[in-house]
Amino acid sequence: MGVLRLQLPTDPRWVNIVEKNIEEILTDHAWCEQKAATNAITIITNNSEHQDLVKDLLALAKEEIDHFEQVHNIIIKRGLKLGRERKDDYVNELYQYMKKSGDGSRVSGLVERLLFSAMIEARSCERFKVLSENIKDEELSVFYRELMESEAGHYTTFITYARKYGKGIDVEKRWREWLEFEESIITNYGKGETIHG
C-alpha cells in the first residue's frame, strides 16, 4: 500500500467472489477504463490553458481507451459479451465528496478533480495487484499485473498536477483528507464481482 497511501487493503478473498463471474468483472472493468478516458478528456476540456496537463492527459486518455480495447478483446476471445455500462457506487461516493469539497474557484475545482482521479487510480491499482496475485486464471494474472503498473503511473500523474497547479491550496493536507474519506467508505465495498464493488 506504501506509495499509494491507501488506509485499508482489499481482502484477498474478494478474488474468490470475482472468479465466480469472470464475465461480470471484465464488463465492469471495461467500462471503468472507458470512464477513466472520459474523465481525462473532461479535465482537458475544463483546463485547456495548461499545455503540459493537456499533453499528459491526452496520452493518459489514449492509454485508458487502449485498456478498454484490451479488456474487450479478452471478452471476445473467451466467447463472452460486453454487458451494459455499470453504475459504480464507489466512484459516485467519491464524486459527491469532490462536488461538495471545492470552494468554487477554478483552482480548487481542478485540484479536487485531480485528487478524485488519483483516488480512483490508487484503489484500482491496488485491486489489480490483489487480482494479479490471487486469481487462478494465468492470463488474467499477467494482464492485471501489467495494468497495475500503468494505473500507478496514472495516479502519479494526477497527484503531480494537483501539486503543480494547486496554488494557495495545501494539497498534501487535502490528499490526507481524501484518504481518510476513502477509508470511511471502502469498508462497504469488496463484496461484489466488480473492480470497486
Task: Say yes or no to pLDDT of 196 above 90.
Answer: yes
% of the chain at pLDDT higher than 90: 90
| Residue 54, pLDDT score | 98
Task: Say yes or no to pLDDT of 159 above 80.
Answer: yes
The model scores a pTM over 0.85: yes
| Residue 101, pLDDT score | 85
Task: Say yes or no to pLDDT of 195 above 60.
Answer: yes
- What's the chain's average pLDDT? 95
109-148 pLDDT per residue, tens? 999 999 999 999 999 999 999 999 999 999 999 999 999 9
| Residue 38, pLDDT score | 98
Q: Cell 494537483, residue?
A: 162
Using alpha carbons, list the distances in angstroms from residue 98 to 17, 49, 112, 170, 191. Answer: 30, 22, 6, 16, 24
Question: Cβ(46)–Cβ(109) under 8 Å?
Answer: yes
| Residue 49, pLDDT score | 97
Q: Which long-range contacts (CB under 8 A, 24 or more apart) does 42-48 make?
A: 42/113, 43/110, 43/113, 43/114, 43/117, 46/109, 46/110, 46/113, 47/110, 47/165
Average pLDDT over residues 82-102: 94
Task: Say yes or no to pLDDT of 2 above 70.
Answer: no
| Residue 139, pLDDT score | 97
% of the chain at pLDDT higher than 70: 99
